[in-house]
Amino acid sequence: MDRIEKLRRAIRDIPDFPKKGIVFKDITPVLQDRDLFRSAIDIFAGRYREKGIEKVVGIESRGFLFASALAYQIGAGLIPVRKPGKLPYQTERASYQLEYGQDAMEIHRDAISAGESVLAVDDLLATGGTMAATLGLVERLGGKVYEVAFLIELGFLNGRDRLRGREIFSVLKF
């Protein structure tokens, strides 16, 4: 069995979490297994090493897990993007629509310099709202988005539609 299939089989479905009707894709079995976690990071690193990426943006909270290990592997800086009020310094904020309401993401104003090559990473692409807001923040600071990367993409939710014109890489598609 190849490493992609091993990763796919390790992801477990949790029905009705966090609310009824949602089937949550649980990545903790991948994180708990050193070989699987290493495989996931190696897949990303193999794609992005030697591409001149200067910063890796990780989205709160599971995106931090992949972005930090990947930034280390490719020799890039790590930039956390968080929910409002979680970052201690001056921030830029981008709001986005949820199914029932609105949310926002923030980034430190000094996190990215104009022209820096940036890779944005999260664990999962669902509807794309969080990532679209994050990419807007990166570009507002002058960063150049190299690509967007996810461990998992839920294709049936059409998150790619919100990220039109972006290069998107997903290790696993469901």
The DSSP output letter for 157 is G
For 41, the token pair is 């990071």
Asked if 62 and 122 touch (Cβ cutoff 8 Å), the reply is: yes
Would residue 99 show up in a list of annotated catalytic residues for this protein? yes
Radius of gyration, alpha carbons of the chain: 16
Q: Which residue in this structure is represented by tokens 């294709």? A: 155
164: left (phi over 0), alpha (psi -120 to 50) or beta: beta
d(CA 13, CA 23): 6
Asked if 66 and 121 touch (Cβ cutoff 8 Å), the reply is: yes
Among candidate residues 54, 62, 106, 153, the one labeled active-site is 62
Would residue 147 show up in a list of annotated catalytic residues for this protein? no
Residue 146 neighbours by CB distance under 10 Å: 20
Q: Which residues are catalytic?
A: 62, 99
